[in-house]
Structure 1
Amino acid sequence: MISADAIRGYVDLMVLSLLREGPSYAYGLAQRITDITGDTYAIKQTTLYSAVKRLEAGELVSSYADVSPSGKPRTYYRITDAGLAHFELKVAEWRSTKSVVDRFTEGVTP
């Protein structure tokens, strides 16, 4: 199980990645994260809601009211053009970060 501390800085990236596939409500996002990560990471609802609200405040996602497939009213989130650009920057940052950490964990020398 991955600790919340280890993945904290990447929750926004995960949410933006999922929203690139199409709009979703928060519970649907949580289900997708669980499906994708299996038992490796379980996101807390408060963490997810904080992330979508933070992304919305930064105008990286927008929200709108709609009805879920079960008929319940939900707040849906969709990625904005600014969110797509931010996603690409964060992916590049992740790759650089991973490369640096890999040098230490895999014993790679310069």
Structure 2
Amino acid sequence: MGAKISSDLIRGHTDTIVLGILKEGDSYGYEIYKKIIEKSEGQYELKEATLYSSFRRLEQEGCVTSYWGSETQGGRRKYYSMTASGETLYKRNRDDWEFTKEVIDKLL
């Protein structure tokens, strides 16, 4: 497996990464954790503690809501769902990232 990305470079983008996954549909912690590894092709793994503090932050800011899944889904899992505020935050952060990337590409 290749190099892993520095967590310092990604730290400020955790919430946006989580929102990007929730944009595809409601999900629960472990599934989101796995999707991040999958999407980064194994080059980035979000620590569980970081993921759950992101959920708490996003929920406090009204960007996500959570609910308990049914027993039939294999145990009671807490699902997270993106709100309209979450969608707005995702788009704004995504635009900011595109701009930052352009500037850094020019500087490097």
Q: When the two structures are superposed, what TM-score results if normalisation uses the length of structure 1?
A: 0.90
Map Cα deviations across residues 65-109 of structure 1 (whole Å, 9 max, x no partner).
11377511111000000110111111110011111111112xxxx
Identity rate of aligned residues, in percent? 37
**Structure 2: which amino acid aligns with 1:39?**
G
Aligned to 2:17: 14
CA RMSD, 1 decimal? 1.3
Structure 1 regions of 5+ residues with no counterpart? 106-110
Q: Radius of gyration: which is bigger?
A: 1
Q: When the two structures are superposed, what TM-score results if normalisation uses the length of structure 2?
A: 0.91
Cα offset, 1:6, TM superposition: 1.0
Please give the residue correspondences for 1:84-99 in structure 2 after superposition, counting only pairs within 5 Å: 84-99=87-102
In the comparison of the two structures, how many residue pairs are matched? 105
Which deviates more, 31-40 or 63-72? 63-72
The separation in 1 between residues aligned to 2:97 and 2:72, in whole angstroms, is 34
Say which SS state the counterpart of residue 69 (structure 2) adopts: strand
Regions of 4+ moved over 3 Å: 67-70
Say which SS state the counterpart of residue 73 (structure 1) adopts: coil
Structure 2 regions of 5+ residues with no counterpart? none
Please give the residue correspondences for 1:40-79 in structure 2 after superposition, counting only pairs within 5 Å: 40-67=43-70, 71-79=74-82
